[in-house]
Structure 1
Amino acid sequence: MRSYLEFEKPVADLEGKVQELKILAEGGEAVDVEDEISRLQEKADQALTDIYERLSPWQKTLVARHPDRPHALDYIGGLITDFTPLAGDRKFSEDNALIAGFGRFRGQSVAVLGQEKGNDTESRLKRNFGMARPEGYRKAVRIMELADRFDIPVLSFVDTAGAYPGIGAEERGQAEAIARSTSACLDLQVPNVSVVIGEGGSGGAIAIATTNHVAMLEHSIYSVISPEAGASILWRDSTRAQDAATNMKITAQDLQELGVIDEIVSEPIGGAHRAKEIVVDRAGQSVEAALKTYGAMTREDVRKHRKEKFLRIGRQLP
């Protein structure tokens, strides 16, 4: 059964009526309802289009967090062949929130990093809702260093509310692990490409998204802090999350204008969760084009490009 967001209620009502009529038709009712089904479906499609053409930043936040939205494993499964995950940071333990390994992307060897939230209660607990601990970021560093040594590009799928803020994570050096992962991204002499597929939250996202090419799905978000936490700090009122989302410039459209990201990957009408295969393929096209561009550069030029790109952020508009 499809899950609807609060602002999608008009669409939910119309599609609910369509389903009722389809059940009547399947039950062999004498009344011909095909014309009515077509009329209501057309009305529902138009309502969905109208809603998604004028989403507010807060509504985009809700879409980015939609439980049915495709996650890192969906992109890895749809784009990467012969994927071999590697486990552990060789220092403490394995972190299931951050997937890392090697595979092939359209015939080319790639290292893959992905923050996975999980899609049901069991997997969400296993993946810690996509919030990595220090060992996850140290595992990412291990994979990036291997990729650099063997001249293999790095591909990252970003989807996290942020790094895990638990006491144990802080005791094991969460901030230091994030800083070293960010530094490893910057030091790579091979192309690295990232796609923000849902939430790009704080340093937890930056740790694997400091890349030559940063793409964002149309209705994803990327911010230094969640709107709720930002509202709590600015106004001491988490219920003002909608105001924070608007003022923080967290949408793909805002961030492209500010020069923080490089590309927006369009989503199907109604969001990525309504057509997962389509959006996975579109993300793949973006990655393929970026890898082709940066793959033609020398190792030193790749690193220089990345460094200069991030130094420009906040200093001048693109």
Structure 2
Amino acid sequence: MLLEFEKPIVELETKLADMKQLALDSGVDVSDAVAKLEEKIETLKTETYRNLTRWQRVQLSRHVDRPYTFDYIHEITDEFIEIHGDRGVADDKAMVGGFGRIGQETFMFIGQQKGRNTKERQERRFGMPNPEGYRKALRLMRMAEKFNKPIVCLIDTPGAYPGLEAEERGQGEAIARNLKEMFSLKVPVICIVIGEGASGGALGIAIGDRVMMLENTWYSVISPESCSSILWRSWEFKEQAAEALKLTAEDMQSFGLVDKIIPEPLGGAHTDLKAMSKILKEEILSTVQELSAMSESDRIIQRIDKFSDMGVVVE
């Protein structure tokens, strides 16, 4: 999928490929021209991705080739065992998790999983969990606590599933219980937004000691399209809505809602999964080392204070 702001870059890259092919076919030395064009492409890329609008970052967060939870887990871990079911209703395939080993350290990985094709997207509901998904996540968190293993939550969802059956089975209660229980977990909890972070659907697995976002992700109570449809009765104003919502990683960090922005490879995480996974792996390991040096009680108190201090109240 080619995004509108990427077209000038692709045009130059196509021109570069043609130039190299011409030199190969004709034997003409065009190394100087190739070097200049490569430099021009690199400059254009840097300027383009450094100055993206909020809506453009939303588009990048939804790129069809963007890595999902399982992509990162399989790249980061040396061994992974998926755990299924909430032991109550069903195994929600929109919420996934299990134990993963990195070197000698074992982690509990939990995250929303979107689908790559039509069948998988329907099966996983585009990464929108039902109540049993959040109950499964909480079961896995309690299991991690039992075995004293740190928890890593990878957040990527358009929101909790809005269907009638989800409400009948207690969607709001399931998310609220996760919020309450995550505050008191005795093990280190790291939450990372890897794509979309929408509403309570994201927040249901996002109460942690450290909350981070990848560079081209968003985190907000509502999507730009939904905000536009409410305010303007049309999706056509989604770009203005994205600007008003201030939902990017930079915005969230400036508000004190996230602790750190994790840089992505130039062009986005989808351009180099291995490089992005390496960055993520190093960030997870260093953060866990920092959190493990704290006592359980200190971590819990700091976690509660962290979220209690968010927001502004004017009387």
Please, what TM-score do these two structures have when normalized by structure 2? 0.94
Which of 200, 220, 236 does residue 233 from structure 2 map onto? 236
Aligned partner of 1:157 in structure 2 is 154
Aligned residues: 313
Pairwise CA RMSD of aligned residues? Answer: 1.7
Q: Quick check: 1:79 aligned with 2:76? A: yes
Which of 151, 162, 177 does residue 174 from structure 2 map onto? 177
Alpha-carbon distance between aligned partners in 2 of 1:54 and 1:43, rounded to the nearest angstrom: 17
Aligned partner of 2:2 in structure 1 is 4
Aligned partner of 2:256 in structure 1 is 259
Q: Quick check: 1:191 aligned with 2:209? A: no
Q: Quick check: 1:18 aligned with 2:16? A: yes
Tell me the CA shift for residue 150 of structure 1: 1.9
Q: Return 5+ residue gaps in structure 1 as ranges.
A: none
Tell me the CA shift for residue 139 of structure 1: 0.4
Amino acid in structure 1 at the alignment position of 2:18: E
Q: Return 5+ residue gaps in structure 2 as ranges.
A: none
Q: Quick check: 1:137 aligned with 2:134? A: yes
Aligned partner of 1:213 in structure 2 is 210
The question of whether the paired residues in 1 share the 8 Å contact of 2:86 and 2:135 is answered with: yes
Residues 38 and 137 from structure 1, CA distance in 2 versus in 1: closer, same or farther, beyond 3 angstroms?
same
Amino acid in structure 2 at the alignment position of 1:59: Q
Task: Report the secondary structure of 1:184's partner residue.
Answer: helix
Task: Report the secondary structure of 2:78's partner residue.
Answer: strand
Which of 202, 208, 229 does residue 199 from structure 2 map onto? 202
Aligned partner of 2:113 in structure 1 is 116
Amino acid in structure 1 at the alignment position of 2:8: P
Aligned partner of 1:223 in structure 2 is 220
Moved more, 153-162 or 98-107: 98-107
Any idea what the Cα deviations from partners look like across 1:35-55, whole Å, max 9, x if unmatched?
A: 443333322221111111111
Instruction: Among all aligned residue pairs of Structure 1 and Structure 2, give the percentage whose two residues are the same amino acid.
Output: 43
Alpha-carbon distance between aligned partners in 1 of 2:285 and 2:135, rounded to the nearest angstrom: 27
The question of whether the paired residues in 2 share the 8 Å contact of 1:158 and 1:208 is answered with: yes
Tell me the CA shift for residue 227 of structure 1: 0.7
The question of whether the paired residues in 2 share the 8 Å contact of 1:144 and 1:184 is answered with: no
Task: Report the secondary structure of 1:142's partner residue.
Answer: helix
Q: Quick check: 1:88 aligned with 2:85? A: yes
The question of whether the paired residues in 2 share the 8 Å contact of 1:195 and 1:283 is answered with: no
Tell me the CA shift for residue 277 of structure 1: 1.3
Residues 116 and 151 from structure 1, CA distance in 2 versus in 1: closer, same or farther, beyond 3 angstroms?
same
The question of whether the paired residues in 2 share the 8 Å contact of 1:213 and 1:261 is answered with: yes
Aligned partner of 1:311 in structure 2 is 308
Alpha-carbon distance between aligned partners in 2 of 1:278 and 1:86, rounded to the nearest angstrom: 27
Please, what TM-score do these two structures have when normalized by structure 1? 0.93
Any idea what the Cα deviations from partners look like across 1:236-269, whole Å, max 9, x if unmatched?
A: 2321111111111101111111110000101122
The question of whether the paired residues in 2 share the 8 Å contact of 1:158 and 1:200 is answered with: yes
Which of 273, 294, 307 does residue 297 from structure 1 map onto? 294
The question of whether the paired residues in 1 share the 8 Å contact of 2:16 and 2:37 is answered with: yes
Alpha-carbon distance between aligned partners in 2 of 1:117 and 1:41, rounded to the nearest angstrom: 35
Q: Quick check: 1:68 aligned with 2:80? A: no
The question of whether the paired residues in 2 share the 8 Å contact of 1:68 and 1:273 is answered with: yes
The question of whether the paired residues in 2 share the 8 Å contact of 1:145 and 1:184 is answered with: no
